[in-house]
Structure 1
Amino acid sequence: MPERNDIENLSHLGQEETSYTFHYDPSLLETFENGHPNRDYFVKFNCPEFTTLCPKTGQPDFAALYISYIPDVHMVESKSLKLYLFSFRNHGGFHEDAINTIVNDLVDLMNPRYLEVLGRFTPRGGISIDPYANYGRAGTKYEQMAETRLLYHDMYPENINNR
């Protein structure tokens, strides 16, 4: 196995004790180098236990998050992503804001070719909200991909009874 110099700077992975922060903190995110930058491929994270707070009432909101991206040079390290998502726990923000914030932070972190985030929030008051946001690098085929996927992102709506 070739030696990896890019993983020496990962501060969360492999630590015996994990420190959790309860307030939004994008500085928790870390990257490593993509070993296959010559190929387009998707990386998908399923995060079924995302929580944040309603900015008005302070009540907890729960969601399953789906984060998919096509990396370029950098990839997000999964433990740092977990800690980052956990940092939303006491953050007050609407569902739509949380999803767009995650997209913005991951784009700033990795500069991926393409990225999308879908939040499937559990109902409160009889209504569920499922915000979707994506990004495609401007001036590339991924910009068109983002536009197309945004137009068709909910072609297969779920059955309301499954939550």
Structure 2
Amino acid sequence: MRERENMTHLGSQGTTYESDYNPGLLESFENRYPDRDYFVKFNCPEFTSLCPITGQPDFANIVIAYVPDRRMVESKSLKLYLFSYRNHGDFHEDCVNRIMDDLIALMSPRYIEVWGRFMPRGGISIDPYCNYGKPGTEWEQVAKKRLTEHDMHPDAVDNR
């Protein structure tokens, strides 16, 4: 059985759901396979934040995919962290970039990408995408390539 290290959320019987942005909720654990490249992907279909101007709610599916190095994000802490955006006012692009920056600070992954697929408001949906490859590694070039090819085949119009 894997040690709990410094994880406080996993297995807690008294989970508190903070509703104001708090990166301190994120927790990590040691990657048991640091010599192997592999993707970890999270699909978060219930992300909610607020428009910083109007205060209206914004809803999105946030997809986070990363190639870990030495540390990995603990999934319950990620869920609580994403929930902490509930009453946080920020533009869609800022939310996606901040999520990526906080995860980079937490785990220093080899590669990470975050894609926000926001529900339309005012007839327009915004789908910001950002990524990062660790400088000086092959993942830096992978990030550049994935960014340029990210939306080469856009989805058909949907009724998100």
Q: Which residue of 2 aligns with 1:81?
A: 78
User: By how many angstroms is 1:155 displaced?
Assistant: 2.0
Amino acid of the structure 2 residue aligned with 1:4: R
Between the aligned partners of 2:113 and 2:122, the Cα distance in structure 1 is 27
For residue 105 of structure 2, the aligned residue among 108, 111, 115 is: 108
Between the aligned partners of 1:135 and 1:101, the Cα distance in structure 2 is 12
Does the aligned pair in 1 maintain the 2:63–2:115 contact within 8 Å? yes
Q: Which residue of 2 aligns with 1:148?
A: 145
User: By how many angstroms is 1:12 displaced?
Assistant: 0.1
Q: Which residue of 2 aligns with 1:15?
A: 12
How do 1:6-45 residues align onto structure 2 when only pairs under 5 Å count? 7-45=4-42
Superposition TM-score, scaled by structure 2 size = 0.98
Question: Is 2:154 aligned against 1:139?
Answer: no
Superposition TM-score, scaled by structure 1 size = 0.96
| Runs (5+) with no aligned partner, structure 1 | none
Q: Which residue of 1 aligns with 2:154?
A: 157
Q: How many residues align?
A: 160
CA deviation vs aligned residue, 1:54-101 (integer Å, no higher than 9, x gap): 000000000001000000000000000000000000000000000000
Does the aligned pair in 1 maintain the 2:10–2:76 contact within 8 Å? yes
Between the aligned partners of 2:91 and 2:152, the Cα distance in structure 1 is 24
Q: Which residue of 1 aligns with 2:45?
A: 48
Does the aligned pair in 1 maintain the 2:5–2:29 contact within 8 Å? no
User: By how many angstroms is 1:20 displaced?
Assistant: 0.7
Could you tell me the percent identity over the aligned residues? Answer: 66
